[in-house]
Amino acid sequence: MASVDDSREVAGAAGPLDLLLTQAAQGTVRRLSPGKPGLKFLGGLARRPDRVAARARSLAGQLAQIAVGTSDVAPSKRDRRFADPAWTENPLLRRLVQAYLATGETALGLLHDVPLEWKDAERVRFAGTNLVDALAPSNNPLISPVAWKALIDTAGANLVRGPRNLVRDLASPPRVPTMVDPDAYEVGRDLAVTPGSVVLRTPVFELIQYRPTTETVRTVPVLVVPPTINKFYVLDLAPGRSLVEHLVGQGQQVFMVSWRNPDARHREWGFDTYATAILDALDAVEEISGEDATHLMGTCSGGILASMTAAVLAAKGRQDRLASLSLLVTVLDQTRAGLLGATMDPDTAAQSVAASRRAGYLDGRRLAEVFAWLRPNDLIWNYWVNNYLQGKRPPKFDILSWNSDTTRMTAQLHADFVDMALGNKLTRPGSVTLLGTEVDLSQVTVDSYVLAGSADHICPWQSCYRSSQLLGGKMRFVLSTNGHIAALVNPPGNPKSSYRVTDDNSAPVEEWTDTARTEKGSWWPDYSAWLGERSGPDKPTPDELGSARFRVREDAPGSYVRDK
């Protein structure tokens, strides 16, 4: 079975969740349809017949060259859809691919010929791109050489296995091709295996303290707040691919929040519930470590919650409890946040909130479907060919195993996120109230470390950068040359990795890349060093985990992470 390139971007439920949540309430057809923006686009084309005619003449000329074999149109070497040699060596298949590429380029070119408001343009472009991708000849079982070779190699078994896989995947959400063998990994055996113990369990979360592996530890500990959709272990994925393991190996004391997988009984848990949980975790970390300040790290939706909780501490004069704030692939400012921002409107938001109110929660499997259609070639059609045309089991890939391990989100937390995003309220001090306190992110003046991915299609790096400008204090902004999840799972040793960094986020986002310096390798060592500079002197490693009040309950990764 072919190996999977770890550098490939995959969907993970760890994005600007407040925008994605609105899309989960819609059916697939409606979500992929351009709707009213599509009608605006068609009207715009009708008013520009000269552009349509010019595109048509150009396409006709290309098709004529293709027919006589003089065209140099060819798929990109990075386009894995046409990697099989038959696509280029067989003259009929080569012409078919060339005609598809030329027609697709013409269709997508028309999308740029009609000026639309940015939201409408994003939706039309999304629908058009998905349609072009779906019509690729590589997806057609009657044409694909991969399918015909599988027919010969398996003596026709793929004709049985493929439809069986399709029926199974359509039977229950998310109704997309299975991306990973469900039996390939086990949490606690293959994933989330960094040694540690659960030292606190509440109805909302478990707190994991990881066991130090060095003779001394840094004085100031780190508390990690993971996303509220999917499990925490994307940060503790597997040995050699775990940020937690890396930090512990550098002498950092690390604590991790593991959220409970809620159900309808917990429908009323909202922002206040989760902020209270973060404060409860901070209390425990302070007592166990014996320190008055903690590094607070949040990822994605967890970063939003961590930021707002930090603002509450600042407003109450207790910001001294924080040694720093770290935000990984977190969007606080939703201004022009790509396709996801474009597809959000009051009607869609109201429908989404009403749907989760009825159930008591939002099912993470619905979000998994939304994520998949954001990158259909990688996350839909790639597995369409593998699972259905070839009849194969999907490859083993730890990130995709984590991605499929979805959780639910309570109805109230869903409503709170959507309401906050709909008005982009975190950009306006006082527009959001948390624990009875108005949130003003500019009051957070501790040093901050903000990470974004240059190829992130879920949390655009420009949005992460603008978000960093909402905070006060000294800022280190790091742009990793990776996508959304690869930016997090980015261990040292990958020769392709690099990042750009500055300690100044005052420049406009358009000018930032001109001022940033480029560093080779993973950002993990940079982050560990940054924490070390703010963690005080080293001290002897504690003999035991927990404390008299917060006793060890069970080994990591705990019980909540295993809840389905």
Catalytic residues, by residue number, are 300
Cβ pair 206, 200 in contact under 8 A: yes
φ/ψ region of 438 (left if φ > 0, alpha if ψ in -120 to 50, else beta) reads: beta
Strand, coil or helix: what is 400? helix
- Hey, which residues does 328 pair with through a beta bridge? 299, 451
Q: Is 461 exposed, middle or buried (0-12, 13-18, 19+ CB in 10 A)?
A: buried
How far apart, in whole angstroms, are the C-alpha atoms of residue 167 and residue 495?
A: 41
How far apart, in whole angstroms, are the C-alpha atoms of residue 81 and residue 382?
A: 7
Q: Which of 345, 304, 342 is nearest to 16 (CA)?
A: 304
DSSP state of 344: -
Cβ pair 440, 411 in contact under 8 A: no
Cβ pair 434, 312 in contact under 8 A: yes
Q: Which two tokens stand for residue 287?
A: 């007592």
- Alpha helical stretches, state H, 261-395: 271-289, 301-315, 338-342, 346-359, 364-374, 376, 382-383
How far apart, in whole angstroms, are the C-alpha atoms of residue 295 and residue 297?
A: 6
What amino acid is encoded at 535 in this protein? Answer: S
Intra-chain end-to-end CA distance of the chain, in Å: 29
- Name all contacts of 160-163 with Cβ < 8 Å and 24+ positions apart: 160/391, 161/391, 161/392, 162/387, 162/388, 162/389, 162/390, 162/391, 163/388
C-alpha of 480 from chain center: 14
Strand, coil or helix: what is 424? coil
